[in-house]
Structure 1
Amino acid sequence: MNGKGNCYDNSAVEAFFKTIKAELIWLRSWKTRRQAEMAIFEYINGFCNSRRRHSALRWKSPVTFDQKVA
């Protein structure tokens, strides 16, 4: 984190929260908090970290990027 008042302090986290809300949270509803927690966990570990394309990887998924690098 940078100093107080720096507008770039948490921009990466805010961008991630916006993405997860747009791609998961706003599209569904859950009966319990536990169901929502599991859906978020599965989204992050099952999709976002493995299959979702990332601009930092030249719009490749982490799995595809790792296969081409190795």
Structure 2
Amino acid sequence: MDNAPAEAFNSTLKVEYVHRQHFATRAEARVKIATWITGFYNVRRRHTANDGLPPTVFEELMLDKRKATTARYAEAKVA
């Protein structure tokens, strides 16, 4: 598995936000970083890695597929 996207995101987070801030507490850092991520991460942008779907739509589809697979596995196990 390729970690490049996660590493690139973490690098951007650190360079563009964390290193430019001073946080009084860990709790403050968590809230401000989460807020920055929410503003930075475009959940509507289409991604070629997701068959042209926005991340939230792709994740919902994957969750539905996992639920269906788990249900079929459970039914097969009972039978």
TM-score range, shorter chain: 0.5 to 0.7
Q: Deviations over 1:3-61 (max 9, x none)?
A: xxxxxx2000000000000111000111100000001110011x2124xxx8x6xxxxx
Percent identity at matched positions? 33
Higher CA-based Rg? 2
Runs of at least 4 residues off by over 4 Å: none
TM-score, normalised via structure 1 length? 0.56
What are the ranges of 5 or more consecutive residues in structure 2 without an aligned counterpart? 48-53, 55-79
How large is the RMSD of aligned CA atoms in angstroms? 2.2
Structure with higher helix content: 2
TM-score, normalised via structure 2 length? 0.50
